[in-house]
Amino acid sequence: MNYVLYGSKTSPFVRRIRVLLENVPYDFKEMNIFEGQDAIDLNKINPINQIPVLTDGEQTIWDSRQIFNYLNSIHRFQNMDWNDENQLTAIDGAMNAGVALLMLKRSGINISEPYLYINRQHERIDSVLDYLRPYLKDQGLKEWNFHTISLYSFLDWALFREIIKIDHRPECQSFLEYHKNKNILQHTQIPKV
Ligand SMILES: N[C@@H](CCC(=O)N[C@@H](CS)C(=O)NCC(=O)O)C(=O)O
């Protein structure tokens, strides 16, 4: 076991793996994925050009969900049934929609414009957060596992990037407030510069 995690300190996909690895030793290689040598290096280890990437000796794993599956098969963090898989897929859907909106913003596109593609991303995030409302109010405050870690990483990041508003979602506010003082969340805070 010789884990190296490639990523950035802002990515919610990377953060959920860093939080998952709270009690597991690993090296963190921070990269600027969009330019320079880091972008070239990333392409050598992942043709999709995305972070996170995990290497474990000769084994390379792409995609945070697969990294979770890989690590979970070794460390047995939690049992997963098909409903758990679905719930994670829903959270992943919201995260992917959030990242798509950020990429549009960075491309100079106003994400308040009513384009089909933009609307679909906002609607997906809303739909997932509506679906998760009962979970956020109840289990979400009792469990600390890859589901809650992923939700925290997503909500905290999407607020930071001004992708979502949660004024009308008290369960999201309570969820963030409830978990925010955990050491690992403080340790992996999104750099504000
Ligand atoms: N499905 C991937 C998504 C990862 C992802 O979108 N990462 C972003 C950073 S937050 C990225 O690498 N974006 C660069 C790009 O897509 O070109 C995962 O779960 O790891």
With 0.95 as the threshold, say if the pTM is over it: yes
159 in the same domain as 87? yes
92 in the same domain as 177? yes
Q: What is the pLDDT of residues 24-42, one digit of tens each?
A: 999 999 999 998 999 999 9
CA distance 22 to 71: 12
Q: What is the pLDDT of residues 141-177, one digit of tens each?
A: 999 999 999 999 999 999 999 999 999 999 999 999 9
Ligand 1 proximity of 89 Cβ (cutoff 6 Å): no
For ligand 1, pick from 41, 51, 63 the residue to mutate: most ligand atoms within 8 Å of CB. Answer: 51
71: CATH = 3.40.30.10
CA atoms in the 13 A half-sphere facing the CB of 135? 17
CA distance 20 to 91: 16
- Structural domain range at position 13: 3-75
* Atom 1 of ligand 1: nearest residue by CA position: 63
- DSSP assignment string, 124-176: HHHHHHHHTHHHHHTHHHH--SHHHHHHHHHHHHHHHTT----TT-HHHHHHH
Q: Is residue 88 part of a domain?
A: yes
> What is the whole-number distance in angstroms between the Cα of residue 106 and the centre of ligand 1?
15
CA distance 176 to 174: 5
For ligand 1, pick from 8, 13, 67 the residue to mutate: most ligand atoms within 8 Å of CB. Answer: 13
Task: Give the confidence band of 64 by pLDDT, cuts at 50, 70, 90.
Answer: very high
22 in the same domain as 91? no
Q: Residue 5 carries which side chain, given as an amino acid letter?
A: L
Mean pLDDT value across residues 61-76: 98
